[in-house]
Amino acid sequence: MSMTPDDARKKIEAYFTAVSRLKASDLHIKTDRPAAVRIDSQLRLLDEPPLDNETILAMALSLLDEEQADAFHHTGNLDIAYQVPDGDRFRINLFRQRGEPGLAARRVSCDIPDFNTLHLPESLGEILVQHQGLVLLAGPTGSGKSTTIASMLNHINATRRCHILTLEDPIEYVYSDQKAFVNQREIGIDTPDFPSALRAMLREDPDVVLLGEMRDPETFEAALQAAETGHLVFGTIHASTAPQTISRITELFPIERRNQILQTLAFTLQAIVCQKLLPSCKEGVSRVPSVEIMRNNSVVCDLIAQGREADLPTVIRSSELDGMLSFNSSLMKLIETDMIDPKTAYAVSPNADELKMLMKGITTSTGGLIG
């Protein structure tokens, strides 16, 4: 007997509730397998019978309106967000694999954590006093970029009388107005598509803008334009380091435009924050972020304008008194505070030999840069 839409929704909500109860980060569902949850970075099967194709499809469709269901049938994938009544919010990707439906859902806690809860560097707070420029959060999928940005935006929400505008696909964290006036626009619901939302953005009088993932030239150019015209703009990008972030940005554009983009970026960039989540050895803490922070100063500005991103790590290492932070220095702080063990740090360090010297109290020479 086929499931009713109400029964299907109750069943998928039960899975979401279980994810929250287990403090898991993700839920995975596929045909002929029990559902799986990710706890402390590892997938674990739930103790239950395998799910069949019909049940999975019914659960998926119970989350969708008619237009979304039609889009899923035609494209084979769909991104949505779903709020469990009196529970957590989930960022969901529905997809087909080998002709059968599947689901991957990331849990987004209803509570937006502050810097202290996330164990982020205090120097990140210095970025938030700025009123203009581009702030990019970089890192791989699952590195906590969205949570860090939510924490930063909510700090502005609590401390500044301004208008915060987010363009999201889908909306993840939901903000409650504090000192700020917050409007959140979801692509496909509040606006037909991202280009339409970008065209309307500056007419909506924002002070602070969140553009989500920067994955095409149109979005990045809109971010640069907003930053140039007096707005503080936040975005995310898939990159591992600050130099790689600059390279990823330029690769979005044809060769003949890259120099122009670098010139604009050099003068609008406020900061690049790169983040990796690491397993913690401290009781009560599952994962902690290792963070690289690059602030824009005169040297960084010149290097970006000249396309010399390979020289940026030297500047970051030599400018930590100015609010910058290298990955190795971040790893050192995590070791010193007993958040991670040295083996974990060596495994993810961009330069394990340098980290070992730092642990021995030997400071590496950064040398000089030729202008």
Q: For the segment 260-312, what is each residue's pLDDT rounded down to a tens digit? A: 999 999 999 999 999 999 999 998 888 899 999 999 999 999 999 999 999 99
Alpha-helical (H) ranges within 169-212 are 194-201
In angstroms, rounded to a whole number, what is the distance separating the alpha carbons of residues 153 and 159?
A: 10
CATH number at residue 69: 3.30.450.90
pLDDT of residue 364: 52
Within a domain: residue 371? no
Within a domain: residue 120? yes
SS3 235: strand
Q: Does residue 103 surpass a pLDDT of 90?
A: yes
In angstroms, rounded to a whole number, what is the distance separating the alpha carbons of residues 280 and 118?
A: 12
Each residue of 229-263: pLDDT tens digit? 999 999 999 999 999 999 999 999 999 999 999 99
Q: What angle do CA 139, 141, 142 make, to 5 degrees?
A: 100
Each residue of 147-168: pLDDT tens digit? 999 999 999 999 999 999 999 8
Residues 102 and 219 in one domain: no
CATH number at residue 221: 3.40.50.300
Question: Which structural domain range is residue 97 located in?
Answer: 5-108
Domain-ending residue, one of 63, 85, 108: 108
Closest CA relative to residue 268, chosen from 310, 314, 234, 317:
234
Within a domain: residue 369? no
Residues 147 and 88 in one domain: no
Q: Does residue 338 surpass a pLDDT of 70?
A: yes
Residues 30 and 87 in one domain: yes
Within a domain: residue 93? yes
In angstroms, rounded to a whole number, what is the distance separating the alpha carbons of residues 157 and 69?
A: 35
pTM above 0.85, yes or no: no
Provide the token pair at 195.
């280009």
Q: Does residue 367 surpass a pLDDT of 50?
A: no
Residues 178 and 70 in one domain: no
Mean pLDDT of 320-346: 93
Each residue of 76-102: pLDDT tens digit? 999 888 989 988 889 899 999 999 999
Domain-ending residue, one of 53, 73, 108: 108
Within a domain: residue 340? yes
Provide the token pair at 46.
């739930």
Residues 334 and 305 in one domain: yes
DSSP 8-state symbol, 311: G
Each residue of 57-77: pLDDT tens digit? 999 999 999 989 999 999 999
Mean pLDDT of 358-364: 71
Residues 290 and 307 in one domain: yes
Q: Higher pLDDT residue, 6 or 361?
A: 6
pLDDT of residue 370: 45
Which of these ranges, 38-42, 263-267, 311-315, has the smallest mean pLDDT? Answer: 38-42
Residues 95 and 127 in one domain: no
Residues 207 and 280 in one domain: yes
Q: Does residue 363 surpass a pLDDT of 60?
A: no
Within a domain: residue 368? no
Q: Does residue 1 surpass a pLDDT of 60?
A: no
The number of domains in the chain is 2
pLDDT of residue 111: 81
Residues 103 and 53 in one domain: yes
In angstroms, rounded to a whole number, what is the distance separating the alpha carbons of residues 159 and 1?
A: 55
Within a domain: residue 51? yes
Cis peptide before 170 (omega within 30 of 0): yes
Residues 270 and 340 in one domain: yes
Domain-ending residue, one of 108, 138, 159: 108
Average pLDDT along the chain = 91
Within a domain: residue 60? yes
Residues 175 and 102 in one domain: no
Confidence band for 365, pLDDT divided at 50, 70 and 90: very low
- CB-side neighbour CA atoms (13 Å) of 309: 18
Q: Higher pLDDT residue, 145 or 41?
A: 145
Q: Does residue 208 surpass a pLDDT of 60?
A: yes
Residues 142 and 61 in one domain: no
pLDDT of residue 359: 85
Phi, psi of 34 (to 5 degrees): -65, 155
